[in-house]
Amino acid sequence: MTTKPLHYFAYGSNLLTARLQARTPSAQPVGVAILPGWQLRFHKVGSDGSGKGDIVPAADDAVTGVLYRLRARELWRLDLAEGAGYRRRRIAVCIGARWQRCETYVATATDPELLPYDWYRALILAGLLERAIGGPMLERVLETPALPDPRPFRPARLRALRALRRFRSRCPELAEQLRD
């Protein structure tokens, strides 16, 4: 039995293919996509007390991310990984010269005072570098201050560092550009 594929737009830590595939093994990148009229922020209240990525409407801005195809039956795994504080939303992104309807996540609980942890920001940077996404999106992430995680053995941090090591070993020419 086959199931219809689903499209998902990643703009945060799920930009990095290894990170998303650890959550939804069938995920395959379709390509770089743009969500016009939205802006990336790091104000989503994370379960660890740090700021996580979110998108908010912003008429004169755009979010560049990665469109993935995955099995619809794996969507529950992504819902579980994203956890409380996000709701899934149906949007349309521009990929090349066409529009594609897809799923993404938008925060339900935000705090403008929050900052991301350094390892979380590094996951996003690795995802941007993996897909050669530069410009305003890369600048926004690089300009975002990040905090050291006060719990160095936090399981989420350790999983993130494993994904970053895999990325660095696959892309040594980009490893120097990745600060965490």
- Which domains are assigned to the chain? 5-175 (3.10.490.10)
CA angle 8, 10, 16 (to 5 degrees): 120
Q: What is the predicted pLDDT for the residue at 180? A: 44
pLDDT at 1 over 60: no
Whether residue 9 contacts residue 40, with contact meaning beta carbons closer than 8 Å, is answered with no
- Beta strand 28-45 with 51-71 is antiparallel
* String of DSSP letters for 131-144: TT--HHHHHHHHHS
Q: Per-residue pLDDT tens for 126-169?
A: 999 999 999 999 999 999 999 999 999 999 899 888 888 888 77
pLDDT at 175 over 80: no
Reported pTM: 0.91
